[in-house]
Structures are given as structure tokens and as C-alpha cells.
Structure 1
Amino acid sequence: MAIQRVASKWEKTKALHKKEHISLYIPETRKYSIDQMQEMLDTYELVYIKPDRGTYGIGVMCADIWRDDIDEDAEPKFRLQFGTQSEIHPNIESLHQSIEEKIGTKPYLIQKGISLLTYKRRKFDIRALVQKTPNNTWETTAFIGRIAAPHRIVTNHHSGGSVLPIEDLLGPYLTPSQFLELYKEMKNLGVHVASELSRKYPRLKEIGLDLAIDEQYHIWILEVNTKPALFPFKWLQDKSIYKKVRRYAVAYGRLKSAK
């Protein structure tokens, strides 16, 4: 039986919102429209605009309220960032028009922006891999930190991002005991998310959970990928982690066993 994949970010978000202990980790997310963008910028001042269906961070944009550092009396404007480019718009209508030109008729979502922790002034997030075990239970088997390339708003490898162990990224911020608590919370969250999604999508065998850590060390779920890349975990120094990842993936049919 084929492994189930779910493309729509909106459908996955709706499924996870049914459980309060998971919804606390989900940034406010709505279907994109100019009215929704106006409301969310008024509330959060930073939003991400992303395709409902898509991978590798392609098509993701970021909008925020931009203030002139030189002329403090100037009216706030709106900044749109995409790829390595940015635009300044005088009003919400101009901002929306530019976004519409880029997205066309594709359905997009708008999500509360998270002020991510940084590594050498570059934003990073964390990919958690959650897999079905040979005993048919869920386990969070691996983590890897993903660092955005300079001047990029997404951390994906395909957009020039790089990877590091999460210990290297979180170590400067947390004591060993704080790190252990956060690590346990992320592991448990991975299992809860996979378990809840599998209620609606019973043929799920694996998920990639993209997690953001904000400046108060709160964990946020940015996205759930139902066909996560496995190769980045090969780069971890602890080779036993990828061995387990591979063993589980062979057991549920994602990978073929080595001959």
C-alpha cells in the first residue's frame, strides 16, 4: 500500500487545529486575501505568504511594516521580500497588487511571522523527522538545524540554506538543562502531530515537521511535510541516527534495503 502524501498546507493546518495541545504551537494561518493581510499586518507587523501547495520554499514571500530610520515622522510603508529581493510599497493596495502579480491564480496562505533565533545573523529553523517504527508506533527519530543563506527568508537547502546540528544552533541560547527540556518538548510534539494527522490520513508513515524557535524559546510549527527529505540526516556526525532513519524507512517501504 502506497505511503500517503498530503499536499495542501491548509488541510493539514485544519486537521491539527482540532487538538488544543497542538494548536497552541501553530501560528495564526488564514487563506490569503488583501483584507486578511491588512488585519494580520495590523496585529503582527510581520507575515509570511506561502503557496498552499509547494515544496522547497518556492514562492514564499514575507511582508512587514517598514519604517524609515532617517525620517521618523514619515508614514510607515510596507516591505515585501522574496528570494533575495525586496520592494517598498506606499500602501496595502500596492503591496497586494505586487503579490497578486507573483502568485497569479494559485491559492496562497498568510501566516503570522515568527521572529526566529539567528546563527551568525542568519535565521534558522529546525526540521524534525517523525517516522512509523517497525512496531507501528510513531517516533521522532532525528533533528537537523537549517540556516538561511544570506539575505534569504527561507532556510531550504534548495534555496541555498545550510545545515548544522541543533546543539550548535541552540547551545548559545540555552543551558544544558534548558536544551534538554526543549528537546523533549520537540520530540513529544512530533509524535503528537504525526498521531493526529494519521487519524485523518491513515496511510501516513513519515512527516517532516518544520519548527521555529522564537526569542522567548517558544516552539512554533511552520509547516508539515508528508514527503520529507531523508538525505540531510546523513550529514549528522552521529551516524547511528541516519542508520535508524534508514531502517525505519525500509520497514515501511520508503527505501529499499541495501543488498
Structure 2
Amino acid sequence: MLANQKSLGIITICRGSSFVEKGYYKKLTLIGRKAGIRVFVFSPRQVDFSTRTVTGFEYRDGNWRSGTFPLPAYIYDRCFVGPSYRHYKPFVEKLQNDPSITFLGHGLSGKWQVHQMLIKSPLLAKWLPPTSLFSFPKLQQTLKRHGSAIIKPIAGTHGIGVVRIDQTGDSYHLTGRNLENQPFSKTIRTQNGLNTYLAGFIGGRTFLVQPYLSLHTPDGTPFDVRVLVQKNGNGEWETTGKAVRLGNKQSITSNLHGGGKAAPLPIFLAKHFSEKTRSKIEMQLDQLVAELPPFLELEHGRLVELGIDVGIDTSGNIWIIEVNSRPGRTVFRMIDDPKARLHSITQPVRYARYLMKHA
């Protein structure tokens, strides 16, 4: 086996020698080393296809050190989709189209594309909230039917730009997070005023509109369930862990970046739901987790891991809120689940080794 076939390159957005998730990549490097796999980090913009080399960083002797490495045969994509991603996307696609490179998984597109794939499954479709691309008529239609709506950017993260809109008579009350991720609350007296405000807020970006769902505890604390599923060392899907993320009462989302907290799922369900409802929730969660990863992979192409965010409304119904192909792992540290934390880090290396063995 050639040297580059025993190496795993992590692509991420680098600004000089600065990149996020250094702690996670350090652990991946050390786990990879034990498995005989060389792990290093690089920007997709720092690839020289003529020499088949990359400029990147490797964790050695207690520090991240820069160097030039052979273009790896296996790549773990951790380029988060955000405002700067458009500068990286063409370079990521060039790597994806290289016949001698295998990506552990291909990143999912925006929320709308994922919704359009999942709705093809009769089982998953019943857990998807009614969702449309945003337009002012669609918003009014949703408000007329449900009284409240949520709008969200198709490529947003961390709850940024998610807004709840409640209609009372001719007035509209807006609560959510602005584009700087700051919470805000605003009342607008007319439909024209609402349209003018939202036109400025949305700008040229694409948003979705959905009915507002009561995804909160009886005392009004927003929450969701984060399920992390990953490919294991046999190339099969496995559930790494489940945890509840709780937001602030002033917030409409449970995102940890908005100052949220975490709780173990069984304890949380026991506190807030009857035994009968709890068992229904757990059964549906198991069905969802068994169906979604393989179905989405058939529609989308190879995936390595998914963070599935599931809402539970006050009646105990579950809803698929979001599916993320570049999930974080913080929640398992917050609930002190060492097994899930360890698995969340080791599984990508195990899956990489599986692909290398079966190349």
C-alpha cells in the first residue's frame, strides 16, 4: 500500500495556521497513529494537483506543525458551510472529482435539498414539518392556517437567522436571532411593515417557512434531541449517542452556541412525559434512526456520520428538525457520556481503516 493510501487528510477552512476544532483533530491524529494511519489537516485551497501535494498541518511532539504532504487517498470533510464556504466549494469539488481520492462522506447540501430527499420516504415524511421555500404568500398562508410560523435560512447554522412570527389580529410579533446571532424581539403593526422588514432581513438569501411547533417543556424551555449516528469499523451505521439540548427560555432554538445546556435523554423524558408517551417517543426515535441514515445515503451518496436533530412537541409527537453531515460532539461532553464521546472520535478513523482495507 502506498504511503498516501495509509493517510487521512482532514479538509477544513484554514486562515493561515488558524482553524477550528484543533482539539478534535488532535485526538483523531493520535487515534489514527495507533491504527497506523497518518492524519493531517489542510485547506482545500492549499492543494497542488501538478505535484499531488498539499500544504497543511500535523500534530507532532505536542504542537501543530506545518508541512508538505502527499495528496491523501482518503479525505474527511469538515469544511463547515457558512458565509466563506463559497471560496472553498470549487476546491472541495475538484478533490471530490479526483478518481484517486475517496471521501469518507460527502457533505449534505442545504436544508431544503435534504427535506426534498427525506420526503420520498413514507416513514420519514410523517415526521417532517410542512416546509416550503419562503415567499410572502407562503408565509401568509402558514400564518392563516397555524397562527405562527418559523422562517430559517437554508444554509444557516447555530440558530442564526431563525425567526418565529406570531400573528395577532393585524399585528405581528417576531422573536429569534439576527444574523449576528443576537436574540431580538420586535412587534410590527401591519402586513406591509412585516414584508418590508423581512425583505431587508432576508436580503438575497434563500429561507424556508414552516409552521411553528411547540418544541418546548411545560415551562417554555426550548429543547431538541441530538442523535449522532456514524459508520463503524465494519462500514455499518451505528448510533453513537443521544442527548437533549436545552435553550434559554428567551430563545426559540435549543442551539448550544446560543448559551444552551444539555441533559441525558432518559432522565429528561422521565421528568417531562408519562411512561406511555415516553415509550412511544423512544420507539419512534429508534424507527427514525434505523430508517434515516441508509435512506438518505441512497438518495445523496456516501455519508460517514450524521447529527440528526429531533424535536418533540408538547403532545409527544416527534419531528425531524435538521440533519447535519458535519456534526459537533460537544453535547456528549456536556452530559458526561464518556463512551459516546470516545466513540464519536474513534468511529471516523475506524471507518477510514475499513475503506482502506476494502479498497
Q: 2:107 matched to which residue of 1?
A: 5
**Alignment partner, residue 173 of structure 1:** 272
Identity score, percent:
28
Partner residue in 1 for 2:294: 195
Deviation at 1:177, TM superposition (A): 5.6
Partner of 1:257: none
Matching of residues 57-136 of structure 1 within 5 Å = 57-66=159-168, 75-83=169-177, 84-118=183-217, 120-136=219-235
Which residue in 2 is equivalent to 1:16? 118
SS in 1 for 2:114: helix
Residue 208 of structure 1, CA deviation: 0.9
Name the structure 2 match of 1:245. 344
Residue of structure 2 in register with 1:71 after alignment: none
Report the 3-state secondary structure (helix = DSSP H, G, I; strand = E; otherwise coil) of the residue aligned with 2:116: helix
Higher relative contact order (CA 8 A, sep 6+): 1
Amino acid at match of 1:49: I
**Structure 1: which amino acid aligns with 2:253?**
V
CA distance in 2, matches of 1:191, 1:94: 45
Q: What CA deviation, in whole Å up to 9, does each residue of 1:221-241 have, x standing for no partner?
A: 111111110232123334222
- Letter of the structure 2 residue corresponding to residue 61 of structure 1: V
1:144 aligns with 2:243: yes
Distance 2:233 2:139 in 1: 44
What is the match of residue 331 of structure 2? Answer: 232
In 2, the alpha carbon distance for the partners of 1:43 and 1:23 equals 20
Q: Deviations over 1:3-49 (max 9, x none)?
A: 21113110000000101111000000000010000001111112110
Q: Give the deviation of 1:115 after TM superposition.
A: 0.6
Letter of the 2:244 counterpart:
G
Tell me what 1:50 maps to.
152
Q: CA deviation at 1:166?
A: 1.8
Q: How many Å apart are 1:114 and its aligned residue?
A: 0.7
Shift, 1:109, TM fit: 0.6
AA paired with 1:78?
A: Y
3-state SS in 2 of match to 1:102:
helix
Q: Distance in 2 between matches of 1:7 and 1:158?
A: 21
Partner of 1:203, secondary structure, is coil
- TM-score of the pair, normalised by structure 1: 0.88
**Contact 1:7/1:54, CA 8 A, preserved across alignment:** no
Query: What do you get for the CA RMSD once the two structures are aligned?
Result: 1.9
Segments of 5+ residues of structure 2 without an aligned counterpart are: 1-101, 178-182, 354-359
Q: Which among 147, 158, 164 is matched to residue 263 of structure 2?
A: 164
User: Contact between 2:310 and 2:321, CA under 8 Å: does it hold in 1?
Assistant: yes
Shift of 1:56: 1.1
Q: Which moved more, 1:169-178 or 1:124-133?
A: 169-178
Q: TM-score normalized by structure 2?
A: 0.64
Distance 2:284 2:126 in 1: 13
The alpha carbon displacement at 1:253 in A equals 4.3
Equivalent position amino acid for 2:174 in 1: L
Query: Which structure 1 segments of 5+ residues have no match?
Result: 67-74, 255-259
Instruction: Give the partner amino acid of 2:115.
Output: T
Report the CA distance between 1:62 and its aligned residue: 1.0
Q: 2:140 aligns with which of 38, 42, 47?
A: 38
* Structure index of larger Rg: 2
